[in-house]
Amino acid sequence: MKKIELGKSGLQVPNIAIGCMRINGLEKQKAESFVEKALELGANFFDHADIYGAGHCEEIFAEAVHMSPSVREKMILQSKCGIRQGRFDFSKEYILNSVDEILKRLKTDYLDVFLLHRPDALVEPEEVAEAFDHLYQSGKVRYFGVSNQKPMQIQLLQRYVKQPIVANQLQLSATNTNMISNGLEVNMTTDKAIDRDGSILDFCRLQDITIQPWSPYQFGFFEGVFLDNDKFPKLNETINRIAKSYGVSNTAIAMAWLLRHPAKMQPVTGTMNEKRLEEICGASELYLTREEWYEIYVSAGNILP
């Protein structure tokens, strides 16, 4: 698979990450087979969160790979914390405790990457900085990031946090394009001209923060997959035609659309299907033309000024 640098970390990672939110839906043997397939494909970056299956997903993953020092060396592990029942929590105590529990469940001594999961309105960045310092100095976390945060929130953290923010997970797909659309529809009165995210796409590029698009095949907020969906006839006709010309699946083209963006993103796929995973990973080195990229963009219902 094609590799990119994660932020300014120097860490080389596959340009497609494997999201493990649904691994608790697999039987043990299928979980083992899925992870083995991912590693075989070179997709060795696995994204977790303490909230996925209430921690059970991390336990299943560790069992599926038969975690040991030799196995751990073959993969890059990322996890997140901050979402709690009825609230968000970036307190020092909660961050430190969460990471300890994550490491226990994953049966490892360290995380390659640790993200704050969504913003906490009551965040005290000084506390986050103390937590990050402890995690970094103790060797429990090597690199740090955030999810669903806008520029000012990241800048507030960076005023206190010594470690660079290397990644930001944000929702993005061919049908959820606001971070792209508000940059194209500048100075227009259209709905998508509204800057709802503080120009986070440009900010991340300027700050060398890798965007990790989540739900790359979903429309709305977990409303369903747009591929082979009657709600998006023009989009599917376009994607299917381009897929046929490349001799790949529509799944690969939808992923290649994200990878074509010069921000050098690292989309997080959530599939637990081995065949679909192989199709997705086939997009790693695909390079759509400018014409193809814009044709998909417009066929998804987006406009060009």
Q: Measured between alpha carbons, how far is 270 from 301 in angstroms, rounded to an integer?
A: 24
Residue 272 in any domain: the answer is yes
Residue 222: predicted pLDDT: 83
Strand runs labelled E in the chain:
3-5, 12-14, 17-19, 45-47, 76-81, 83-84, 87-88, 111-116, 141-147, 165-171, 210-214, 268-269
For residue range 167-220, list pLDDT tens digits in order.
999 999 999 999 999 999 999 999 999 999 999 999 999 999 999 999 999 999
For residue range 131-167, list pLDDT tens digits in order.
999 999 999 999 999 999 999 999 999 999 999 999 9
Q: Measured between alpha carbons, how far is 266 from 128 in angstroms, rounded to an integer?
A: 25
Total number of domains in the chain: 1
Q: Measured between alpha carbons, how far is 266 from 211 in angstroms, rounded to an integer?
A: 6
Residue 80 in any domain: the answer is yes
Q: Given the DSSP bridges, would you call strands 17-19 and 45-47 parallel, antiparallel or unpaired? A: parallel
Residue 15 in any domain: the answer is yes
Strand runs labelled E in 43-180:
45-47, 76-81, 83-84, 87-88, 111-116, 141-147, 165-171
Residue 246 in any domain: the answer is no
For residue range 21-60, list pLDDT tens digits in order.
999 999 999 999 999 999 999 999 999 999 999 999 999 9
Give the global pTM: 0.97
By CB atoms closer than 10 A (0-12, 13-18, 19+), residue 287 is exposed
CATH number of the domain enclosing 13? 3.20.20.100
Query: What is the set of active-site residues?
Result: 52
Q: Measured between alpha carbons, how far is 79 from 111 in angstroms, rounded to an integer?
A: 7
CA angle 55, 59, 65 (to 5 degrees): 145
The answer to whether the beta carbons of residues 268 and 17 sit under 8 Å apart is yes
Q: Measured between alpha carbons, how far is 91 from 72 in angstroms, rounded to an integer?
A: 29
Residue 8 in any domain: the answer is yes
Half-sphere exposure of 45 (CA within 13 A, CB side): 22
Task: List the one residue out of 13, 30, 18 whose CA is nearest residue 270.
Answer: 18
**Tokens 């381009």 correspond to what residue?**
242
Residue 221: predicted pLDDT: 87
Q: Given the DSSP bridges, would you call strands 83-84 and 87-88 parallel, antiparallel or unpaired? A: antiparallel
Question: 130 lies in which domain range?
Answer: 3-231+263-283
Residue 241 in any domain: the answer is no
Residue 254 in any domain: the answer is no
Residue 25 in any domain: the answer is yes
CA angle 98, 101, 104 (to 5 degrees): 150
